[in-house]
Amino acid sequence: MSKRIEFPYLDGLRGLAALSVVLYHTFLYTGERGDAYRAMPTWSWAISSGYVGVAIFIVLSGYLLMLPVATNPEGLRFRRGTWDFVKRRSRRILPPYYFSLLMALVLIWFVPIMGEPRNTQWDTKIPVTTEGLVSHLLMVHNLDRDWFGEINGPLWSVAAEFQIYFIMALVLLPLFRLVPPSLVVLVTAVWTGWLAIGGSYEFMHPWYICLFAAGMWAAQLTLRPGADKVARWVGLALLLAAPVALFVARSAKINHRDWLYKTTYWPEMALGLAVAALLVWAGHVYLRGDRPAVLRLLSSAPLLRLGLFSYTLYLCHSPLIGLANLLLLPLGLSTVTQYFVLTFLVVPVVMVICYGFYLLVERHFLNTRQRHVAEEEQPEGRPAAT
């Protein structure tokens, strides 16, 4: 099978993942630091889980980038070579990334309230240091705690994913050719778990390497007859395990049992592996010609369009929501009221602004399939690659 297969629902899933991160950051930015958690403790258990949308991004990235490799008649290799893969990924990822970095810097340097500490979550992004700026330009800021969240918080995961592209090319693909993919996923799960729980590297989220590998394996299993029967039940079991893992992890943190908590490794791994397994099931169902309700929903026009500019939305939302929160603070609104204003008034405006940024920047760097989606903009369109 040499022709690349397209699954429209993947775009909708990525759009929802981006939206979950946006809504989580909206809660996090509300009022002064910690206000939202104190005012809405029960709701915080649900909404602050939105960060797991990043893990879904990573799985989808591995899945989408592996599909053309898995269908390559010449074996598990990039169709036009490793260097071409790196160039195409760089062209796709870097221009919007640098635009969002510049946008955040302009706001920090030229909007006074963005450059001054005011006891809000935005304080973690300032001041801009020379080392932090250089590390962001080189896309290595995710490797140091001091640079990790500086300037524009969500950019750390873009750097991490960009680095995983090289790991895919130089390590994961060669391993997939030599040993069973299941062994690669298992070993990376144990190794990165040790780095996170037993070491001091949890802030880097090293387990994303495992989730990326799981996405790659899922792409292979999508093309393997009968794999969906096991994947469906495994995916559902892990999906049910994810909130349990999240509850245990948070309870351990509250009770200061760092030996158990330490990181978000457990819930992100459970959800990420669940998504990988369910992608196998969905791929088999779609290839058989079936369209269950969940796939029709994810392939709907609104979610496809959301997925189309989800990368820009992810890159640019944080400084804009941080600015809106700072502008609202002098009004003296209650924390709950401010949260509702940010969620239901500011977030839609931010989405419109980000769509404008997508038209201004990102759409000029889409790959061939994404340009087709942008031109057609219909539910049957193909998904944009991560």
pLDDT, tens digit, for every residue of 192-227?
A: 988 887 777 888 999 999 999 999 999 999 999 989
Q: How far apart are CA 383 and CA 12, in angstroms?
A: 8
pLDDT at 37 (0 to 100): 93
pLDDT at 252 (0 to 100): 59
Q: Which residue bears the tokens 């919007």?
A: 96
pLDDT at 382 (0 to 100): 41
Q: Which residue bears the tokens 């096991």?
A: 230
pLDDT at 14 (0 to 100): 95
How many other C-beta atoms are found inside a 10 Å radius of the C-beta of residue 282?
26
**DSSP letter at 382?**
P
Residue 384, domain member (yes or no): no
- Helices marked H in the chain: 9-29, 35-39, 41-47, 53-70, 82-110, 130-137, 145-148, 155-167, 173-178, 181-193, 208-222, 227-254, 265-287, 293-298, 301-308, 310-328, 335-341, 347-360, 368-376
pLDDT at 378 (0 to 100): 43
pLDDT at 368 (0 to 100): 58
Among the listed residues 24, 54, 36, the one whose alpha carbon sits nearest the alpha carbon of residue 347: 24
Tell me the CA distances in angstroms from 102 to 99, 133, 282, one per residue in order. 5, 10, 39
Q: How far apart are CA 365 and CA 352, in angstroms?
A: 20
pLDDT at 2 (0 to 100): 47
- Domain count across the chain: 1
CB–CB of 79/233 below 8 Å? no
Cβ-Cβ contacts under 8 Å for 260 (sequence gap 6 or more): 248, 249, 252
Q: What value, to the nearest 5°, has the Cα angle with vertex 137 and ends 135 and 143?
A: 30
Residues in the chain, pLDDT under 70:
1-4, 249-263, 367-386
pLDDT at 272 (0 to 100): 96
Q: What is the pTM of this model?
A: 0.92
pLDDT at 261 (0 to 100): 44
Rg (CA), the chain: 20
Residue 1, domain member (yes or no): no
Residue 165, domain member (yes or no): yes
Among the listed residues 373, 97, 34, 57, the one whose alpha carbon sits nearest the alpha carbon of residue 212: 57
First to last CA, the chain: 22
pLDDT at 243 (0 to 100): 85
Among the listed residues 210, 159, 165, 205, the one whose alpha carbon sits nearest the alpha carbon of residue 183: 210
Range of the domain at 27: 9-376
Cβ-Cβ contacts under 8 Å for 122 (sequence gap 6 or more): 29, 114, 322, 325, 326
Residue 132: both structure tokens together? 């932090």
HSE-CB at 194 with a 13 A cutoff on CA atoms is: 5
CB–CB of 142/159 below 8 Å? yes
* Cα 332 from chain centre: 34
Residue 160, domain member (yes or no): yes
Residue 240, domain member (yes or no): yes
Residue 2, domain member (yes or no): no
